[in-house]
Amino acid sequence: MKAVIRPKDRDAVIQSLRAGVVPRAGQRLIQVGRTREIETMLGDIERVADGGSTFRLVIGEYGSGKTFFLNLVRSIALEKKLVVATADLNPDRRLHASGGQARSLYAELMRNIATRAKPDGGALSGIVEKFVSTAMSEANAAGVDNETIIQQKLEHLKELVNGYDFAEVIAAYCRGHEQGNDKLKSDAVRWLRGEFATKTDARAALGVRTIVDDANMYDQLKLMARFVRLAGFGGLIICLDEMVNLYKLANSQARTSNFEQILRILNDSLQGNAIGLGFIMGGTPEFLLDARRGLYSYPALQGRLSQNSFATGGLVDFSGPVVHLAVLTPEEFFVLLQNIRDVYAFGDSAKHLLPDQGLVSFMEHCANKLGNTYFRTPRTTITSFVNLLAVLEQNKDAKWEQLLGGLEMTADMGAAADLKVEDGDELASFKL
């Protein structure tokens, strides 16, 4: 017997699906398929927790479930006691820049940084507090000064870029903790979040000479990864979505600079130079494969990201840095619709609005309208299915047989696979 689904969890999933966006919670209630891909990401998480590093590109069409997959991996990492920071790239947030866009991406990551105890973000203060509290306990047990213990713990960070100032900021937070100085603690967290715009302000507030800027954003992430391990967490996972925005950059030099940053991150991961740090990036096939504007336009990346030539004819290789999201099979899609129907009914099979035959008819209807597109980009079909359930719920006299026989698509879905829309957009919906 299936467990009853709480209204809060049910509404969070259904409302997100109907809006065409990914649920922030409850992914486990509807997840189907892609077992090998999830196992691969689980291996990456365990590698990071063991002090290693990892780099993955998750590639899939618009609406194929990239963001859902990234959120699922995020949830798994949090359960494994890792720290996860997430952000979407856009014109004002990218990996390399000279006008503040890279620092803006770092600041967004720090705003969204999450732990299992604080899964919705804003966990940076708690991470620092945990480190300081643990260090103070050790200092009391050893009968030495608090700052002495903290400096000892952070000593090996000082060899990294910005490492000395990073240690000084943590020490300043400790002083603020001891003295009850909330302003000093707040300034320390602001520096760690990359919110100081000038070095002058940072020096006046904390006595440090550097700030997080475009040039050292990635180095700061490497520092943060080591620090969260010192605070008692397994490591740091960085989830970046909407990587296609780099493909869309009109300036070729800007694209090249960002691709060089990706190459640096990839090389560090492969060589083990980033301790306890993992990157997971979601993008579309053209972002990877386009020889003029995509990652394949940069020869060094093309050589590292090319698919295994022996992985053909249904054979797969998940040991490389690129994970191509497999298309859902009809059987998996049927189970997905069953799961959504079950969530809609609060887990009570007696409240199902549609029988299994109705699910089969719905899939046949979609296949007639969309062809194989509805397997490859399931977001549209899922949204339409939730719309159908909503009509059946609110109109008790409505018959699903009549609705499926009279539904028409509002968009030309025959060309849906060629549409270039943002991940949060809805390609089409059913109407009565």
Residue 251 has pLDDT above 50, yes or no: yes
Q: What is the pLDDT of residue 193?
A: 96
- Rounded distance between C-alpha atoms, residue 290 and residue 423, angstroms: 19
Q: What is the pLDDT of residue 243?
A: 95
Residue 186: Cβ-neighbour burial (10 angstroms; 0-12, 13-18, 19+)? middle
Residue 228 has pLDDT above 90, yes or no: yes
373 pLDDT band, cuts 50/70/90, is low
What structural domains and CATH numbers belong to the chain? 34-121+217-324 (3.40.50), 124-206 (no CATH), 330-431 (no CATH)
Residue 320 has pLDDT above 80, yes or no: yes
Whether the Cβ atoms of residue 214 and residue 175 lie closer than 8 Å to each other: no
- Rounded distance between C-alpha atoms, residue 207 and residue 104, angstroms: 23
pLDDT digits (tens, 9 = 90+) for 392-423: 999 988 888 888 875 443 333 333 333 333 33
- Rounded distance between C-alpha atoms, residue 325 and residue 308, angstroms: 16
Q: What is the mean pLDDT of the chain?
A: 87
Residue 426 has pLDDT above 50, yes or no: no
Alpha-carbon dihedral sign for residues 361, 364, 370, 374: positive
- Residues pairing with 88 in the sheet: 241
Query: Could you give the angle at the alpha carbon of 129 between the alpha carbons of 128 and 133, nearest 5°?
Result: 120
**SS3 assignment, position 278:** strand
pLDDT digits (tens, 9 = 90+) for 7-60: 888 998 999 888 888 787 778 888 887 888 899 999 999 999 999 999 999 998
Whether the Cβ atoms of residue 84 and residue 114 lie closer than 8 Å to each other: yes
Residue 375 has pLDDT above 80, yes or no: no
Parallel, antiparallel or unpaired: strands 53-59 and 322-324:
parallel
Q: What is the pLDDT of residue 414?
A: 35
Average pLDDT of 283-306?
A: 94
More confident residue, 243 or 378: 243
Average pLDDT of 117-126?
A: 94
